[in-house]
Amino acid sequence: MANPTTNSGTVEELDAVVVGAGVSGLYQLYRLREAGLKVRCLEDGSGVGGTWYWNRYPGCRFDSESETYGYTFSKELQQEWNWKEHYSGQPENEQYLNFMADKFGLKRDIRFNSHVTSAVYDEKANRWDVQIENGQRLRTQFLIGAVGILSARYVPPFEGIDSFKGQSFHTSRWPKEKIDFTGKRVGVIGTGATAVQLIPIVAKEVAHLTVFQRTPNYCAPLRNALVSDESQRRFKATYDEIYQKCLSSPAGFPYDFDRRKALDVPREERLALYEELWAQPGFKKWLGNFRDIMTDRAANEDFAEFVRNKIRARVKDPKVAEMLAPKDHPFGAKRIPLETEYYEAYNRDNVLLVDINKTPIERITPKGLKTSDKEYEFDVLIYATGFDAISGPLTRMDIRGQGGQQLREKWAKGPRTVLGLQTAGFPNFFIATNTAFCNYTICAEKIVEWITDCIGYLRNKNYSRIAPTVQAEDAWVAHVNEMGSQTFLTSAKSWFVGDNIPGKAHAVLLYANTAPAYRAKLAETAAKGYEGFELR
Ligand code: NA7
């Protein structure tokens, strides 16, 4: 199919426009095309991959087991792809998503370098008018935002930020060319999951590295390894079982919580279990641990102290170890970063940790960064400062629904949706991002399938539009808040609740129920003819 150009001013008419060619967007494009719709996917980047296209910083990789992160919809794809590492790195992840896109011929329907600036609903015509930065326009019946949950980068508005004379990068806008850090003085701001992957690698290359930390995290060992031929064969022979295991587990990983109450288990037995979990790869020490660690303060503190002691054992300078040991939030209240030689980085002579609670950053200077204490000089400054998560990628676009209502205004106090998928007053606008507390692809595939089936249902029944009712939306928001209040996931200042962005409303952004419960709600809503939605 030719890629019609609309530079001449002609407007391309489509059944569906998918914004974003990441994990969800690629699959959404595939499914809608298979369903017979005329679809176009618009992608800001010059290639596919979303998160795995933009985040090219050293050390970027899955924290999910590779064999659980790949798509499950195609057995052929599963059999054709070989995972190189148990926790696959960004270059391979980008290759994988290219492989998938090429296998299904998706790129011919993707317009790259196409940054969507606005999408406005034309109520009379029941069409969305989509505007791309380069001036092109598309009109579509269905609009699907597959924009990811961590794609709107956040750079704190430090005074003097543009005055810096060296190189500076946000980790999610890392250049495609390799940065040579040899002999360089480098500063990193932030110590979240991204910085924790990057710091140990960069530390080995630079002349000197200074890390500016506001909040230490409970980082746990990733324990990555190459995939042996035998493991590769095992993945391919058991993909169905692996998937079933993920489907039945609370967060979409191939392990489940221990349902005993942590403190009911004798101390020695408990510690032995902690040690056993600690020795294993991945998130098992979080999501395969006692369940009440996420709900009971005393149980949480018991494991938190275990983790602090692990940090203390690895960092030689006791003062630095205490700076790195979190004490201000429960274990698991923020995303647990998985690390490889992170704490050892601070044992190096060329690495300095600065606590910016004690000596706050005052400004960026032409030479580097000034805290209340002194000026640090750098050749390179790295902003590992996170994202305006979940709602940010959508509210940063100018999306207008019925009566010209702006999504940004409607969501000023937090996202308002039903199932995370649609918002009242924005007919035929779907959000294909996984906001469940769930291994990304495991739930994203189900969301994409739900949207595809919903559109199929409308077409079969001769409906032309769908949007949730305000009542259903109120009920869903209340339910999301209720679920959020039952776990520690919402108890720290983090992107889970929008608190990492100054001025952003504090709101529960992740659906903190179990993934099976979320998927059951998806299925039930569809089975009841899209209960809570108005179909016209
Ligand atoms: P995160 O986890 O949001 O981490 C951002 C880091 O940047 C974190 O340490 C922040 O400190 C720090 N930060 C943010 N703003 C500032 C300012 N103004 N001054 C100093 N330090 C600041 O983002 P990541 O990219 O690491 O990870 C995002 C997700 O990607 C992660 O959860 C995984 O799911 C993958 P704070 O903790 O807010 O005190």
266-287 confidence digits (pLDDT tens): 999 999 999 999 999 999 999 9
Q: Report the Cα–Cα distance between both ends of the chain, in Å, rounded.
A: 32
Q: Which of 500, 504, 506, 509 to mutate to test the pocket of ligand 1 (most atoms within 8 A of CB)?
A: 500
Distance CA 252, CA 338 (A): 17
User: Does ligand 1 lie within 6 Å of residue 335's CB atom?
Assistant: yes
**Residue of 389, 390, 515, 492 whose CA lies nearest to 445:** 515
What is the pLDDT averaged over residues 168-193?
98
Q: Measured between alpha carbons, how far is 269 from 258 in angstroms, rounded to an integer?
A: 13
Give the residue from 106, 109, 116 showing the smallest Cα distance to 137.
116
- CB of 195 within 6 A of ligand 1: the answer is yes
- pLDDT band of 1, cuts 50, 70, 90: very low
The model's confidence at residue 4, banded by pLDDT at 50, 70 and 90, is: very low
Let me know: does 516 contact 247? Beta carbons within 8 Å: yes
Between the CA of 497 and the centroid of ligand 1 the distance, in Å, is: 13
From the CA of 100, how far away is ligand 1's center (Å)? 31
pLDDT of 149: 98
Position 386: which residue type? G
Closest CA to ligand 1's atom 32: 335
The three-class DSSP label of residue 214 is coil
* Residue with CA nearest ligand 1 atom 21: 190
pLDDT at 66 over 50: yes
Give me the mean pLDDT over the 229-247 stretch. 98
Residue 5's pLDDT band (boundaries 50, 70, 90)? Answer: very low
Residue 199 Cβ contacting ligand 1 at under 6 Å:
no
CA nearest ligand 1 atom 28, residue: 386
Average pLDDT over residues 323-330: 98
Q: Residue 369 is which amino acid?
A: L
Ligand 1 center to residue 383 CA distance, Å?
Answer: 9
How confident is the prediction for the chain on average, in pLDDT? 97
C-alpha 145/C-alpha 407 separation (Å) is 12
CA distances (Å), 400 to each of 222, 248, 279, 407, 418, in order? Answer: 43, 38, 50, 6, 18
521-530, pLDDT tens digit by residue? 999 999 999 9
Atom of ligand 1 nearest to the CA of 156: 18
